[in-house]
Amino acid sequence: MKPLHLLMTVALIGLAGCSRTNDYTPPAGATSEDIFKAACVSCHESKGDYTFELKAETDKNAIAMKVTKGSLFMPSFPNIQGQALDDLAAYVQTQNKPQ
């Protein structure tokens, strides 16, 4: 495959995440770890003792917004809301790479 075709293919695959919505809804009583395992672990798997490499200033609100709205490579999860969203954002912070 020519390099330009490969680049275009990768770009289109990446853009697919931008328009996707994941309809996962946490069941009543689900813990943040349960939600993470059900909704996130298929793309965000553990790298030993951490899962993410977040900037130190990344706060829970920024994480919650990314979960709700999605991004270029991540689908949105509009059904994760309220306390479940707050708890998931806090859990993601605990999975950050040790400094």
How many domains is the chain partitioned into structurally?
Answer: 1
CATH of the domain at 57: 1.10.760
The pTM of the full predicted model, rounded to 2 decimals, is: 0.79
Whether residue 84 lies inside any domain: the answer is yes
Residues 40-78: pLDDT tens digits? 999 999 998 899 999 888 999 999 999 999 998 899 999
Whether residue 44 lies inside any domain: the answer is yes
Residue 32 has a CB neighbour count (10 Å cut-off) of: 19
Whether residue 99 lies inside any domain: the answer is no
Residue 46 has a CB neighbour count (10 Å cut-off) of: 10
- Map residue 21 onto helix, strand or coil: strand
Question: Could you tell me the residue range of the domain that residue 26 belongs to?
Answer: 3-94
Distance of alpha carbon 38 from alpha carbon 44, whole angstroms: 11
Whether residue 63 lies inside any domain: the answer is yes
Whether residue 54 lies inside any domain: the answer is yes
Whether residue 78 lies inside any domain: the answer is yes
